[in-house]
Amino acid sequence: MARIKKAALVADTVAVAHRTGLVVQDPAVEKAARLAWDDVVQAGRSSGALRRELVAAWQRTAPSAAGSD
């Protein structure tokens, strides 16, 4: 069974953490993240509007209680 070299693991982890920091601070990545978040917010609003319209349509098409005798 292979042994894990702790020093190499720590060095790799530090390198990945540093690179991740550089990537998330990249201006193009920040801009794309803002645009994606705006899309998520808009999708939430659209989904809410869809839900409201579905409920309203369901209620409009319901048989009237007085006529169901």
Which residue has tokens 């005798």? Answer: 69
Find out whether 23 and 29 touch, Cβ atoms under 8 Å. yes
Q: Is residue 2 part of a domain?
A: no
Q: What is the number of domains present in the chain?
A: 1
- Give the predicted TM-score (pTM) of the model: 0.61
Q: Which domain holds residue 51?
A: 27-60
Q: Is residue 65 part of a domain?
A: no
Find out whether 31 and 25 touch, Cβ atoms under 8 Å. no
The 10s digit of each residue's pLDDT in 33-61 is 999 999 999 999 999 999 999 999 999 99
Tokens of 63: 């048989």
Q: Report pLDDT for 32.
A: 97
